[in-house]
């Protein structure tokens, strides 16, 4: 899960883990949207909301919504300190700490009623959902950065824009190689993994919508469990021979 690159011939277990985390990313995004009316892994969306609120003279709301994706950035920053920094220093990266913290954020999110006076999905006001948004953005930043680092900056598990761009470029590259060229095989393999990640995210969103509509905040226990599972695998991947 934490020591293969996207363009390498990873074994089926590693591929399954990548798809599982993509599914979890879609699950979290669906839960965040149903609970708060916002896509928690979509930093672009927060920037857009800031602009529209600012144009509507809702200054307080604008800067409130702009502060939320800072926690996605904070999650990525923490992951960088615990993973990238040790790798550059030829020390052991702490994948387990990062994914464990991600799981803890999601576990706390499952107690969403503690942060909101409203029931699940009954209020989309920022003041009622701010703590939940912070936890979900922080968890998403941690997970995305952990997998990005461990895959040589090739895998994204919390959003699809980059993957879809890479897939489009990858499909175009296929027509640029001769059938007997080795790069063609690598590109076909990479496109297969990109498609699998996109499909997994979509399936996670559909599954998440069904689960959250029935269980409310408790639905976050499932991605929390996946994160703790990833943390357990991260503990086994603590090696100092990683290279970016």
Which H, E and C letters describe 76-117, residue by residue?
A: HHHHHHHHHHHHHCCCCCCHHHHHHHHHHHHHHHCCHHHCCC
pLDDT of residue 67: 83
Q: Which residues contact 98 (CB under 8 A, 6 or more apart)?
A: 78, 79, 82, 83, 142, 143, 145, 146, 231, 234
The residue segments making up the domain with residue 170 are 23-236
Cα–Cα dist 28/224, whole Å: 10
pLDDT in tens, 79-114: 999 988 888 888 888 999 999 999 999 999 998 767
Residue 213 lies in a domain: yes
pLDDT of residue 65: 79
How confident is the model over 128-133, as a mean pLDDT? 84
Cα–Cα dist 57/163, whole Å: 35
Q: Which residues contact 7 (CB under 8 A, 6 or more apart)?
A: 152, 154, 186, 189, 190
CATH number at residue 150: 1.20.1250
* Nearest C-alpha neighbor of 136 from the set 98, 109, 156: 109
pLDDT band at residue 4, thresholds of 50, 70 and 90?
A: low
How confident is the model over 168-185, as a mean pLDDT? 77
Token representation of residue 8? 């390498």
pLDDT in tens, 53-78: 788 878 877 788 788 888 999 999 99
pLDDT of residue 243: 46
Residues in the chain: 244
Residue 10 lies in a domain: no
Count of structural domains, the chain: 1
* Nearest C-alpha neighbor of 147 from the set 70, 75, 45: 75
CB-CB contact of 34 with 132 (8 Å)? no
How confident is the model over 177-196, as a mean pLDDT? 78
Phi and psi for 23 in degrees, rounded to 5?
A: -60, -40
């Amino acid at each position: 899960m934490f020591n293969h690159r996207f363009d390498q011939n990873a074994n089926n277990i590693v591929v399954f883990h990548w798809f599982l985390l993509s599914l979890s990313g879609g699950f979290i995004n669906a839960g965040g949207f149903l609970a708060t009316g916002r896509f928690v892994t979509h930093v672009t969306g927060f920037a857009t909301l800031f602009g529209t609120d600012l144009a509507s003279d809702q200054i307080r709301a604008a800067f409130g919504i702009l502060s939320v994706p800072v926690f996605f950035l904070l999650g990525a920053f923490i992951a960088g300190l615990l993973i990238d920094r040790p790798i550059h220093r030829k020390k052991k990266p702490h994948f387990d700490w990062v994914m464990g913290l991600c799981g803890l954020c999601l576990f706390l999110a499952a107690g969403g009623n503690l942060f909101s006076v409203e029931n699940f999905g009954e209020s989309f006001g920022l003041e009622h959902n701010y703590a939940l948004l912070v936890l979900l953005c922080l968890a998403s930043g941690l997970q995305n950065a952990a997998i990005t680092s461990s895959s040589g900056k090739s895998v994204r598990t919390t959003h699809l824009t980059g993957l879809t761009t890479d897939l489009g470029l990858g499909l175009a590259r296929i027509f640029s190689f001769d059938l007997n060229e080795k790069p063609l095989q690598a590109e076909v393999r990479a496109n297969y993994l990109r498609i699998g990640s996109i499909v997994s995210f979509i399936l996670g969103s559909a599954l998440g919508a069904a689960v959250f509509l029935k269980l409310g905040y408790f639905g976050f226990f499932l991605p929390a469990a996946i994160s703790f599972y990833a943390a357990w695998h991260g503990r086994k991947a603590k090696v100092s021979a990683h290279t970016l």
